[in-house]
Chains A and B, each alone.
Chain A
Amino acid sequence: MTDMSGRAVLEMKHITKSFSGVTALNDVSFSAYEGEILALCGENGAGKSTLMKILSGSYPEGSYEGQIFVNGNLCRFASPAQSEKMGIGMIYQEISMHLDLTVAENIFIGRWPIKGRKVDWKEMNEQAVTFMELVGLQAEPDMILRQMSASQQQLVSIARALSKDPKILVLDEPTSPLTQKESRMLFEILHSLKERGIACILITHKMEEVFENADRVTVLRDGNIISSCRLSETCEKKVITDMVGREISNYYPKEKAEIGDVVMEVKDFSVPHPSIPNRKIIDQVSFQLHRGEILGIAGLVGAGRSELVNAIFGKDPRLSGEIWIDGRKASIKSPADAMKNGIALLTEDRKKDGIVAEMSIRENLTMPLLEKVSRNGIMDRKREKDISRRYFEELGVKAPGTETLMRQLSGGNQQKVVLGKWIARDPKILILDEPTRGIDVGAKYEIYKIMVKLAREGKGIIMISSELPELMSMADRIMVISDQRIRGILKEGEWTQEKIMELSAMWETPVTNAGGHES
């Protein structure tokens, strides 16, 4: 695989960084070699992002101890621009693109080719095409980013990084918004970069990705390097153990709950398409949910799963359809109505509508419970503190206390708070839209445990997920949605990854070119 006698293209030595007395990185040293793919693993909060921010120059020289060497040269980065000049390219987990500019403009942002005194649009678009082909992005260079899907936007961000001719490429959870096919293309690109001697540092939770593509694995835990070895010297179990600090025998807690009677029935549901006028994204969908059941919903990105559950929750408009709860027809026109009917929804994008970043954990936890923590319109501080403390502990949120601001928490901990606020409502029906996206293994496991516990309590749970292994392990039934309809509802034993993919890809309606299209 990799020739370890190759030069160390990157060396970070004795890096230590603290924030207000909390140590994020403790004497961390690691290296990356020419032409290798190095996987960097660790739970959320282990220090991976901090380490990468130091490497990229976001945390400038002087804000940390230790040294960075690129190709043997000591580097002092005062800004990200300087690290870019040294050949370090960054692809972030959260897409930071300019949504109102075009693909080409984004790829070459800050370096638009100039003819005389004006921008050379033609040249820019032509050059953009080269990189778009490289990453497999099917679009026009002059398309506006806002109209493209998240996965396409991610491909643009990768194209941008590649266009700067990096010697070291750092990718933070790059396949998070990508489909299977796009992920495969990405790794092909990484392998070709390897041939050219470029080192890729891959930060990921997905063990399959690590073991299919990486040459070496380095594990961080609580700000310390725990291990760093070649792939042949380790295995999945060991990596996870190193990450979590304990043995995990199961990824998924297997205890199944008793399945009771129908708690919710959705009949003839239709939901308008969010961006294409006069189109439905969900057409005449009907299904049932039982007490104690975990109903998984599978489908491609853009198939309408989120739109379906948002409409059930009253958050988005529905065209037609009925919802029956415990045998009685429910009138749901707003989230407040849904909540009254015992439904809770954990949304897909917590940054957008799951949290209020500038408020504390306590304030976020109690937001859907205001009547419970108040009397006659006046807040009951004590009750509020008690309830938020309780769920804070129950969910194992890692933070100094309930007064910590949400934005200071890691993604996984934020998600726990969001889950906590809905659990606190003691709903009959809990809908989770991608509940473990972007969360480390340890936190995922905890969330699975909570889901199982809730199911055993008799709640009906709907889980939307794009991670098939997760779905297949947690769900009792899996409903596949594609092209406006349910393509199949599979029971345990009936499903395989291939079958689900097959159902997800069934497409009858011709796809118009408005906005993102699916591959």
Chain B
Amino acid sequence: MKVIKKAMKMREVGVLVPLLLLWIITYFINHAFFTSTNMIALFRSVSITALGAIGAAFVFCGGMMDVSAGSVYGLAGMLAAIAMKDWGMPVAAAILAGLLVGVAFGLVNSLIINGFEVPAFIATLGTQYIARGIVNVISEGRSYTGFPDGFNAIGGMGFFGIPWSIYISLMVAVIAAYVLKYTVFGRSLMAVGGNPETARTCGINVKLIRNAAYIINAVLCALAGILSTARLETAQAAAGSGWEMTVIAAAIIGGVSMYGGSATILGAVIGVGIMETLTVSMTMIKVNAYWQRVVIGIVIILAVGMDTFKRKRMSGGK
């Protein structure tokens, strides 16, 4: 009982409840929802998008913003594909190349934002276009397919019939949560997001911390893009278009504050759960496709509302 009481106090309960409600309602209407095939498919899509939400949590925590996520996701996948098919690189090297794309764009973003002091939203909007443009140029609009089995396997099933991407994501989530809560870097990041001037006065290298957050985010997005490409066994030029919006919405729904200073990895992942569940649920409860967007919008507002309400009550209301 005590454990349950303690769990109820956790701030993530505010978003976990809507997610569970969503699941229960969908199950009632369509029992096929809780089949293992369906759940695995759901968790698999969640695991990939969750990487992006975790990255977004880092960026938000530092008080910043990054809308280039989807383009980096697409570029990493496409680059890995081209590396394997056109340049004949081995699988591991191709994956590394894709991840390096993430590092590169993380650096570019930080350079523009920290070096030239361009506002984060505009700077990453610019890199969003640039990255997408590069994808189109290197792929000439074609989609790539027919990758070595070793690569495709990463997108497939692992131990106990659970897809590798789920294991990978889980590991990333645990590490991310640990870093934020228990490391000097995590603490510094929260300080920078909470009040960058105070952090600077205390000797924290604000620019370095921000750069690191952008790089972490870009690498996670690249990883997601590579996993997705492996899963679909296809690299698509338009892959990831609009993905950053899903990722950011998921993080916010999950309770990550856009103003910085705090972050919840668990919340971000639950937020992704809500977004992905909605996509599937709508179909499974046979909501007319024309109404789906309306419903999704309403659910998002409700989820955020419930979370805000809970938070207001917890902080005692002045």
Q: Which residues of A contact B (CB under 8 A)?
A: 19-20, 313, 315, 334-336, 338-339, 345, 347, 352-359, 363, 367-368, 370-371, 374, 377-379, 381, 421
Q: Are B199 and A356 in contact (CB under 8 A)?
A: yes
Which residues of chain B from 179 to 208 have any CB-CB distance to chain A below 8 Å in the complex? 182-188, 190-191, 194-195, 197-205
* Residues of chain A contacted by B182 (CB below 8 angstroms): 378-379, 381
* Residues of chain A contacted by B195 (CB below 8 angstroms): 353, 355-357
From residue B190, how far is it (CB to closest CB) to chain A in Å?
7
Q: Are B184 and A339 in contact (CB under 8 A)?
A: no
Q: Are B188 and A359 in contact (CB under 8 A)?
A: no
Determine the distance from Cα of A347 to Cα of B195 in the docked complex, in whole angstroms: 14
Determine the distance from Cα of A379 to Cα of B186 in the docked complex, in whole angstroms: 9
Determine the distance from Cα of A374 to Cα of B184 in the docked complex, in whole angstroms: 7
What DSSP secondary structure best describes chain B's contact surface?
A: helix
The residue on A at minimum CB distance from B201 is A353
Q: Are A19 and B184 in contact (CB under 8 A)?
A: no
From residue B114, how far is it (CB to closest CB) to chain A in Å?
14
Q: Judge if B316 is at the interface, Cβ distance under 8 Å.
A: yes
Determine the distance from Cα of A353 to Cα of B201 in the docked complex, in whole angstroms: 7
Determine the distance from Cα of A339 to Cα of B201 in the docked complex, in whole angstroms: 10
Q: Are A352 and B197 in contact (CB under 8 A)?
A: yes
Pick the contact of B261: A335, A345, A356 (CB < 8 A).
Answer: A356
* Residues of chain A contacted by B190 (CB below 8 angstroms): 359, 363
* Residues of chain B contacted by A358 (CB below 8 angstroms): 194, 261-262
* Residues of chain A contacted by B188 (CB below 8 angstroms): 370
- A-B contact number at CB 8 A: 75
Determine the distance from Cα of A356 to Cα of B204 in the docked complex, in whole angstroms: 13
Q: Are A379 and B184 in contact (CB under 8 A)?
A: yes
Q: Are A315 and B187 in contact (CB under 8 A)?
A: no
Q: Judge if B318 is at the interface, Cβ distance under 8 Å.
A: yes
Q: With A313-B201, A377-B185 given, name 5 new contacts (CB 8 A).
A: A334-B203, A335-B202, A336-B204, A358-B262, A374-B183
* Residues of chain A contacted by B199 (CB below 8 angstroms): 356, 367
Determine the distance from Cα of A367 to Cα of B187 in the docked complex, in whole angstroms: 8
Interface size for B (C-beta < 8 A) is 24
From residue A312, how far is it (CB to closest CB) to chain B in Å?
13
Pick the contact of B201: A335, A363, A370 (CB < 8 A).
Answer: A335
Q: Are A335 and B203 in contact (CB under 8 A)?
A: yes
Determine the distance from Cα of A378 to Cα of B186 in the docked complex, in whole angstroms: 9
Q: Are B202 and A368 in contact (CB under 8 A)?
A: yes
Determine the distance from Cα of A446 to Cα of B36 in the docked complex, in whole angstroms: 65
* Residues of chain B contacted by A19 (CB below 8 angstroms): 316, 318
Q: Are B194 and A345 in contact (CB under 8 A)?
A: no
Residues 252-265 of chain B, each 1 if its beta carbon lies under 8 Å from chain A, else 0: 00000000011000
* Residues of chain A contacted by B183 (CB below 8 angstroms): 374, 377-379
Determine the distance from Cα of A378 to Cα of B183 in the docked complex, in whole angstroms: 4
Determine the distance from Cα of A4 to Cα of B266 in the docked complex, in whole angstroms: 64
The residue on A at minimum CB distance from B190 is A359
Determine the distance from Cα of A370 to Cα of B186 in the docked complex, in whole angstroms: 11
* Residues of chain B contacted by A345 (CB below 8 angstroms): 201
The residue on A at minimum CB distance from B262 is A358
A-B contact pairs, 19 of them (CB 8 A): A19-B316, A315-B200, A336-B204, A352-B197, A353-B197, A354-B201, A355-B198, A356-B191, A356-B198, A357-B195, A358-B262, A363-B187, A363-B191, A367-B191, A370-B184, A377-B183, A379-B183, A379-B184, A421-B202
**4 closest A-B pairs by CB:** A353-B197, A356-B194, A336-B203, A368-B202
Q: Are B202 and A359 in contact (CB under 8 A)?
A: no
Q: Are A335 and B194 in contact (CB under 8 A)?
A: no
* Residues of chain B contacted by A355 (CB below 8 angstroms): 195, 198
The residue on A at minimum CB distance from B318 is A19
Q: Are B203 and A368 in contact (CB under 8 A)?
A: yes
From residue A269, how far is it (CB to closest CB) to chain B in Å?
19
Determine the distance from Cα of A355 to Cα of B191 in the docked complex, in whole angstroms: 10
From residue A20, how far is it (CB to closest CB) to chain B in Å?
5
* Residues of chain B contacted by A20 (CB below 8 angstroms): 316
Determine the distance from Cα of A315 to Cα of B205 in the docked complex, in whole angstroms: 12
Which residues of chain B from 241 to 272 have any CB-CB distance to chain A below 8 Å in the complex? 261-262
* Residues of chain B contacted by A374 (CB below 8 angstroms): 183-184
Q: Are B203 and A377 in contact (CB under 8 A)?
A: no
Q: Are B198 and A354 in contact (CB under 8 A)?
A: yes
Determine the distance from Cα of A353 to Cα of B204 in the docked complex, in whole angstroms: 12
Q: Are A347 and B187 in contact (CB under 8 A)?
A: no
The residue on A at minimum CB distance from B205 is A336
The residue on A at minimum CB distance from B260 is A358
The residue on B at minimum CB distance from A349 is B197
* Residues of chain A contacted by B191 (CB below 8 angstroms): 356, 359, 363, 367
